[in-house]
Structure 1
Amino acid sequence: MSGLSLNNIVGNVKNLERILDNLRDGIVAHDFQRRIFYFNSEAERITGFSRENVIGRDCHDALGGPLCGARCSFCGESVDLAETTSYQTNIVTRTGETRNVEMTVSMMKDDAEEPFGVLAVFRDLTDLIELRRRAGEMVSFSNIIGRDVKMLDVFQQVRDVAEYDFPVHLFGETGTGKELVAAAIHNESQRGGGPFVPINCGALPENLIESELFGHVKGAFSGAVRDKKGRFELAEGGTVFLDEVAELSLEMQVKLLRFLQEGTFEKVGGEKTLSTNVRIISATNKDLKKEVKAGRFREDLFYRLNVIPIILPPLRERRNDIPLLVDHFLDKCTTRHGRKSPDFSKEAMSRMVAYTWPGNVRELENAVQFSIVRCKGKSIVPSDLPMELGVVREESVKRGPTRKLEDASVREALVKTGGNKAKAARILGVGRATLYRFLDDNPSLSDE
């Protein structure tokens, strides 16, 4: 008999299986009917499922659900799979533990180039991420930049809440990145890959918000020329992010509460009761407890939304992240415009770190962009910074219990701010009371 003998063929297959079993990646292969025909040792270790219990079975039944979560291409009526796709996601093991994995899914083809199945290769990153966090080496997480201990705590909370579908409420000042954190929770969850639908409740007109959230039927009102899906319906299988939720009217709060309690809704002008499978994440820069006491926010809705609260720190409470964020925004501008952005000089960076950033990360990004445009040299210097930072004197940059005010610096700050004492105090790096006392002792400055 010419060629390979049956024993050689069997031996080659066994050797290939031994090689695959010694890889550090989990490997799962299934056909287009989702029947698993290969499951290596690392896949057993990561998932907790044995190959004897999964081979030949539908992967969703065998593994307790789609291994790829909402990114599964075999959950709909038709298969929609690219040649190769890679992403990070969370999987749930046989014991209910959540593991963060890097997943690559590829279509398999036969000798005739006809697709016949899917190969999923995944590597467990859970322990590596935790080690980096403990060692202080983590500088970003799911598109969020930060390594301050307060941000590392937020990263951990995101990972914790991503495992569950409970409602999350984010509280933070304007510009602290609430939508980024909401998107991170979505991406780290089993819903990652499904739709993430942000809704700015404060930006929608009162007469249109119900239609935007729940949709409408043709003829429901003037201008409703066709049926329209609402944001909740569009988010099927994914996450709805309700930003500025405190701006909803009491009437809309009642309708939102009903949806949260029953999971059902009716379109504007419609009679049919619909349901949708979505996760709710809300956010506000207001204290909802105070809004409840003031009668502007329903208490029952507050308890429905505030199941898991996460507080985002303002930038002034994580100043160590400012140089990191500045570098990120410089790189972002370099990529966008195709030319090297200037660096920040040591003096300019000191001013950036010393500033209080009432607009938080959003204001910081604006300041970086302003400084790039203003800069005419190779490095950004203090005079290139926005007005609020550019006139800060050296003594206001240095740390210390007190900051001495001088006539010249106070006069310059008042001129820059058009006489606005609150802004002038911020530029000078002192409290308003300190500036007012100084002006009381120097009345001539107030009269200029």
Structure 2
Amino acid sequence: MQEIPYTFNPEWLLNSFPEGIIALNSDQKILFVNPSAESLLGISKKDFVGKRCSHLIEVEGAEQKCLLERTLQTEEPLTQIESKCQNKQGEKLVLRSSTFMLKDEHDKSVGAVIQFRVISSERPAGETAPKNLLFDKVVGKNPRMLEIYNLIPGLARTKSTVLIEGESGTGKESIAHALHSNSPRREKPYVRVNCGALAEGILESELFGHVKGAYTGAISNKQGRFELAHEGTIFLDEIGDVSLSTQVKLLRVLQEEEFERVGDTKPIKVDVRVIAATNKDLKKAMDNGQFRQDLYYRLRVVPITLPPLRERRDDIPLLINHFMKVFNQEMEKNVEQVSPQTMSTLINYEYPGNIRELENIIEHALVLCNGNIILPEHLPRDIQIRKSDHVDRAISREHPLEAMERELIIQVLNQCNWNFKETSEKLRISRTTLWRKMKDYHIVK
């Protein structure tokens, strides 16, 4: 996937927003519903696009209930309106919404857009929230990630060994945990071992256990992680750091489902599902004689390769929203939004530490944020921040989507050294449209 500055697509942007977005035309028929709106309201856009709004989002006690219809009739935007509705699952939702008019190039009103988020929800009495184990810690809608998510339910039902490959911080353990949580072994142990954090002798004892007197300091018998994971799942993180001698013993467990404790000759049978992960190139390690070929293929029955965050930028807004919810709860805060300028900075950052780094950035931002909007100054200093001007702030308050578009246009202009022809081609718009947007957004070099 190419980066935003080179392939700006308005629909992609709308689909990436964590807030729900619904657009109507001037006939009060629904033009567009983004995935977040589908998820929040429990609807499918195919059931609504082309149909009338018909009180999709209602304001309790208001004479004119549909906010979008109200905006179309008055041609006046609404800002931060609290409204109530019930989704298809019967949840009573309290929403905070803003609306604005859609206008054509002649400044004629052609429709209206609502942007909303859920600020509270309540399930009907006697009902409990459905437990979605699969996506408890896994977030994203990127096509490459969706392929992985779609693989997990079927793969989880098997005992097949899985090798998860990807850079540090890409969420390998979240995938491993999802596989266990959706498996028939979910009620049994899930044991994680960081193979790279333990010295060779200690790792062998940690994995397989030892008997009393096996070595100096072994004052009693000790169960290893494989025994503790019996009938469950063992997750071997950083498998590429395991020594060749320990690799031999791992291979035996995978082939024969048995091992001996250190210092013992009695075999112990074990029923364990093995999931391994690495941030190293195991093929290269294999070619260099540092990783056994037979173990590699035993582990790699089903390979899963996680893309780095810089290759799934369309997931960044969703991940930001997820981490905001997590840290709001932990810190007892109510930070609800990310300013368009901040969002643009976060989307275009390279993330050498991947999802883990983004999580740390959002935690840092919430610590510093005393309001309800994350601003550029709340981000860590080592992240390059674009400073806002008075035009940014004015647009941000009134039309957050336009603010995002303005920021992205500026970035592409800078990438193209303000060459209008090249910029319009990369934005996939005409030069006339580019000039009009620059005029509308007060963009000057």
Same-fold call, TM > 0.5?
yes
- Distance (whole Å) between structure 1 residues aligned to residue 242 and residue 408 of structure 2: 41
Given that 1:351 and 1:397 are in contact with CA atoms closer than 8 Å, whether structure 2 keeps it comes out as no
The one-letter code matched in structure 2 to 1:263 is E
- Distance (whole Å) between structure 2 residues aligned to residue 349 and residue 339 of structure 1: 20
- Distance (whole Å) between structure 1 residues aligned to residue 386 and residue 192 of structure 2: 38
Tell me the SS of whatever aligns to 1:241. strand
The one-letter code matched in structure 2 to 1:403 is Q
Residue 243 of structure 1: aligned partner: 237
Residue 402 (structure 1) shift: 6.2
Residue 271 (structure 1) shift: 2.2
Q: In the TM superposition, what whole-angstrom CA distance separates every residue of 1:327-375 from its partner, at most 9, and x where no partner exists? A: 1111111211223236321111111111111111100010001112233
Residue 370 of structure 1: aligned partner: 364
Given that 1:140 and 1:147 are in contact with CA atoms closer than 8 Å, whether structure 2 keeps it comes out as no
The equivalent position to 1:400 in structure 2, one of 412, 415, 430, is 412
Residue 405 (structure 1) shift: 7.8
Residue 162 of structure 1: aligned partner: 156
Residue 41 of structure 2: aligned partner: none
Tell me the SS of whatever aligns to 2:415. coil
Determine whether 1:326 maps to 2:320: yes
Unaligned runs of 5+ in 1: 1-123, 130-138, 407-448
Identity of aligned residues (%): 46
Tell me the SS of whatever aligns to 2:274. strand
Tell me the SS of whatever aligns to 1:400. helix
Residue 221 of structure 1: aligned partner: 215
Unaligned runs of 5+ in 2: 1-129, 389-405, 419-445
Residue 45 of structure 1: aligned partner: none
Residue 389 (structure 1) shift: 2.5
Q: In the TM superposition, what whole-angstrom CA distance separates every residue of 1:84-130 from its partner, at most 9, and x where no partner exists? A: xxxxxxxxxxxxxxxxxxxxxxxxxxxxxxxxxxxxxxxx99xxx9x
Tell me the SS of whatever aligns to 2:383. helix
- Distance (whole Å) between structure 2 residues aligned to residue 219 and residue 243 of structure 1: 29
CA separation of 1:254 and 1:405: change in aligned 2, threshold 3 A: farther
Within 5 Å, give how 1:44-443 maps onto structure 2: 141-341=135-335, 343-392=337-386, 398=409, 400=412, 403=415
The one-letter code matched in structure 1 to 2:349 is Y
- Distance (whole Å) between structure 1 residues aligned to residue 408 and residue 378 of structure 2: 16
| Of 389-398 and 354-363, the range deviating more from structure 2 | 389-398
- Distance (whole Å) between structure 1 residues aligned to residue 308 and residue 272 of structure 2: 29
Given that 1:163 and 1:190 are in contact with CA atoms closer than 8 Å, whether structure 2 keeps it comes out as yes
With the length of structure 1 as denominator, give the TM-score of the two structures: 0.57
- Distance (whole Å) between structure 1 residues aligned to residue 286 and residue 299 of structure 2: 13
Given that 1:239 and 1:278 are in contact with CA atoms closer than 8 Å, whether structure 2 keeps it comes out as yes
- Distance (whole Å) between structure 2 residues aligned to residue 278 and residue 352 of structure 1: 40
Tell me the SS of whatever aligns to 2:377. helix
Residue 281 (structure 1) shift: 0.6
CA separation of 1:329 and 1:142: change in aligned 2, threshold 3 A: closer
- Distance (whole Å) between structure 1 residues aligned to residue 387 and residue 152 of structure 2: 40
Larger Rg: 1
Residues paired across the two proteins, number: 273
Given that 2:134 and 2:181 are in contact with CA atoms closer than 8 Å, whether structure 1 keeps it comes out as no
- Distance (whole Å) between structure 2 residues aligned to residue 281 and residue 365 of structure 1: 24
Given that 2:134 and 2:178 are in contact with CA atoms closer than 8 Å, whether structure 1 keeps it comes out as no
- Distance (whole Å) between structure 1 residues aligned to residue 181 and residue 353 of structure 2: 26
Residue 392 (structure 1) shift: 4.4
Tell me the SS of whatever aligns to 1:281. strand
Given that 1:382 and 1:389 are in contact with CA atoms closer than 8 Å, whether structure 2 keeps it comes out as no
- Distance (whole Å) between structure 2 residues aligned to residue 239 and residue 304 of structure 1: 16
The one-letter code matched in structure 1 to 2:412 is G
- Distance (whole Å) between structure 1 residues aligned to residue 365 and residue 173 of structure 2: 26
Given that 1:382 and 1:390 are in contact with CA atoms closer than 8 Å, whether structure 2 keeps it comes out as no
Tell me the SS of whatever aligns to 1:141. coil
Residue 421 of structure 2: aligned partner: none
CA separation of 1:393 and 1:288: change in aligned 2, threshold 3 A: farther
The one-letter code matched in structure 2 to 1:165 is K
Given that 2:335 and 2:371 are in contact with CA atoms closer than 8 Å, whether structure 1 keeps it comes out as no
Tell me the SS of whatever aligns to 2:382. helix
- Distance (whole Å) between structure 1 residues aligned to residue 320 and residue 248 of structure 2: 43
- Distance (whole Å) between structure 1 residues aligned to residue 386 and residue 303 of structure 2: 37
CA separation of 1:140 and 1:302: change in aligned 2, threshold 3 A: closer
The one-letter code matched in structure 1 to 2:215 is F
The one-letter code matched in structure 2 to 1:353 is I
The one-letter code matched in structure 2 to 1:237 is E
Residue 307 (structure 1) shift: 0.8
Q: In the TM superposition, what whole-angstrom CA distance separates every residue of 1:202-246 from its partner, at most 9, and x where no partner exists? A: 011222111100001112112212111000000010011111100
Residue 160 (structure 1) shift: 2.5
- Distance (whole Å) between structure 2 residues aligned to residue 342 and residue 221 of structure 1: 56
CA separation of 1:313 and 1:401: change in aligned 2, threshold 3 A: farther
- Distance (whole Å) between structure 2 residues aligned to residue 191 and residue 401 of structure 1: 53
Tell me the SS of whatever aligns to 1:388. coil
- Distance (whole Å) between structure 1 residues aligned to residue 417 and residue 350 of structure 2: 18
Given that 2:259 and 2:268 are in contact with CA atoms closer than 8 Å, whether structure 1 keeps it comes out as yes
Given that 2:344 and 2:407 are in contact with CA atoms closer than 8 Å, whether structure 1 keeps it comes out as no
